[in-house]
């Protein structure tokens, strides 16, 4: 068997320091975390198996349900927490697909590391101290809230914390504060543009120069991105993170064509085959699931955490760093007669037909996936230049069959019929 590839997202300049820090983390972890003491014993492995970053592939994965079970067994933070609650200065949460919160504790040192790596990500995306950033995400349990505030303040940007559910205040800020940048989910960037147009305002008239998006797939979908950029007259850059590990770990430099790893010495990122779990080299064209390991985390230190984020390596930056795009989540993926279909890919095909469509789309499922019998039932809104809606529906069906290799049944509905979301778009729903 050939040796496992070294995780391709660690900069060579950081490799020695990351290796030393991670060795110390693995050596001390069983004493701090009963969860990992049991998991390592179950797999017959300990820190002595770690000699280099390539050896990380010998350690077992940590899954989301494992963390939920850990917290159920030892509330509130779980058997994997690593520190007592008295050491925790802030708690965040991730909901995943079940809607039940999974608590994530952050110590003072953890919070400082988050601020450092998130500030690095936003600098990469183009944020500067001269920017006035309208923050269109909640300052609540969401990791895209308070940690982003801390990072933007570290950079020196002026942050306007509008949050969600307050679009009228967002308009007021756009009118009066000289806002230069918007930070939000891709869904909210489009929602706010539609909100402005419904009020008779042109989003381009507010003079935004930058749009930073994250929190869901969409920012990297070509047609969706073009629509947002056309609506606002400003370039989009995106970031990718994970509530259980860190708010932003990959970020896109303007014009680069993909996101680069910005986790520095705090996190090791791997690419694996989501089916076999085997490592995948981060070479251009490679696809796989991101897996994260915390290098120096105090609370909730995770080893080989499976994110379920499916990415493709789009190329390399000038310094040879791999660049990626997120193409969907493996837990959102649908399987139609053996063909993997990401709802975000369906949306991108529909958005590409704007203004014949509005871009709003939902897949209607007879029951919970991932397996779906054909045809894939899709509702999409016709747009202001729809023309013959029957012909438009047939074109969408043909595009889905040609590009995604599945048979679809498309129903066109009037503009405004489908759910709009200020945070994350719901691209599937159950029938009935």
pLDDT tens digits for 111-120? 999 999 999 9
Could you read off the pLDDT of 205-225 as tens digits, one per residue?
999 999 999 988 788 889 889
Could you tell me the end-to-end alpha-carbon distance of the chain, in angstroms, rounded to an integer? 51
| pLDDT surpasses 50 at 1 | no
| pLDDT surpasses 70 at 249 | yes
Q: Are residues 243 and 304 in the same domain?
A: yes
DSSP assignment, residue 49? G
Residue 267 pLDDT class (50, 70, 90 cuts): very high
Could you read off the pLDDT of 183-196 as tens digits, one per residue?
998 889 998 999 99
Q: Are residues 322 and 340 in the same domain?
A: no
Average pLDDT over residues 291-314: 96
At 262 the pLDDT is: 95
Reported pTM: 0.85
Q: What is the domain range of residue 129?
A: 1-329
Q: Are residues 110 and 193 in the same domain?
A: yes
Q: Are residues 234 and 367 in the same domain?
A: no
Cis amide prior to 129 (ω within 30 degrees): no
Q: Are residues 299 and 353 in the same domain?
A: no
b/e sequence 216-248, b meaning 16+ C-beta within 10 Å: bbbbbbebbbebbeebbebbbbbbbbbbbbbbb
Give 161's contacts (C-beta < 8 A, 6+ positions apart): 135, 139, 149
Q: Are residues 253 and 358 in the same domain?
A: no
Q: Are residues 423 and 320 in the same domain?
A: no
Instruction: Report how far residue 69's alpha carbon sits from residue 189's, in angstroms, rounded to the nearest whole number.
Output: 36
Share of the chain above pLDDT 90, in %: 73
Q: What's the whole-number average pLDDT of the chain?
A: 91
| 337 vs 292, higher pLDDT | 292
Q: Are residues 154 and 293 in the same domain?
A: yes
Q: Are residues 27 and 159 in the same domain?
A: yes
For residue 356, give the CATH number of its domain: 3.30.300.30
Q: Are residues 132 and 107 in the same domain?
A: yes
Residue 369 pLDDT class (50, 70, 90 cuts): confident
């Amino acid at each position: 068997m050939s040796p496992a590839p070294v995780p391709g997202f660690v900069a060579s300049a950081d490799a020695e320091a990351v290796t030393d820090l991670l060795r110390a983390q693995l050596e001390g972890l069983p004493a701090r975390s009963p969860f990992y003491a049991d998991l390592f014993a179950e797999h017959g492995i300990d820190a002595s198996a770690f000699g280099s970053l390539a050896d990380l592939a010998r350690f077992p994965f940590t899954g989301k349900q494992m963390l939920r079970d850990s917290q159920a067994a030892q509330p509130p933070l779980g058997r994997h927490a690593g520190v007592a609650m008295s050491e925790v200065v802030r708690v965040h949460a991730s909901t995943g697909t079940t809607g039940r919160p999974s608590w994530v504790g952050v110590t003072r040192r953890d919070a400082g590391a988050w601020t450092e790596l998130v500030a690095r990500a936003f600098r990469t995306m183009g944020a500067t101290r001269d920017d006035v950033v309208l923050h269109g995400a909640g300052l609540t349990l969401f990791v895209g809230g308070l940690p982003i505030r801390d990072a933007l303040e570290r950079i020196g940007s002026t942050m306007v914390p509008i949050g969600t559910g307050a679009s009228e205040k967002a308009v007021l800020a756009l009118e009066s504060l000289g806002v230069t940048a918007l930070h939000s989910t891709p869904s909210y960037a489009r929602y706010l543009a539609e909100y402005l147009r419904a009020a008779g305002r042109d989003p381009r008239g507010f003079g935004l120069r930058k749009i930073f998006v994250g929190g869901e797939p969409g920012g990297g979908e070509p047609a969706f991105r073009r629509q947002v950029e056309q609506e606002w007259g400003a370039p989009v850059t995106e970031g990718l993170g994970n509530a259980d590990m860190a708010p932003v770990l990959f970020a896109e430099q303007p014009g680069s064509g993909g996101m680069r790893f910005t986790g520095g010495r705090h996190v090791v990122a791997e690419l694996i085959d989501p089916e076999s779990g085997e490592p995948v080299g981060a070479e251009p064209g490679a696809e796989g699931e991101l897996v994260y390991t915390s290098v120096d985390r105090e609370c909730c230190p995770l080893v080989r955490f499976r994110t379920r984020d499916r990415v493709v390596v789009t190329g390399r930056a000038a310094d040879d760093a791999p660049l990626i795009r997120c193409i969907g989540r493996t837990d959102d993926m649908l399987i139609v007669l053996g063909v993997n279909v990401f709802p975000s890919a369906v949306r991108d095909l529909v958005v590409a037909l704007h203004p014949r469509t509005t871009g709003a789309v939902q897949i209607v499922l007879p029951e919970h996936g991932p397996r779906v019998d054909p045809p894939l039932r899709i509702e999409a809104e016709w747009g202001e230049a729809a023309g013959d809606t029957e012909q438009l529906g047939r074109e969408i069906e043909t595009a889905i069959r040609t590009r995604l290799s599945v048979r679809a049944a498309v129903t066109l509905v009037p503009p405004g019929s489908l759910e709009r979301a200020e945070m994350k778009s719901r691209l599937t729903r159950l029938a009935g």
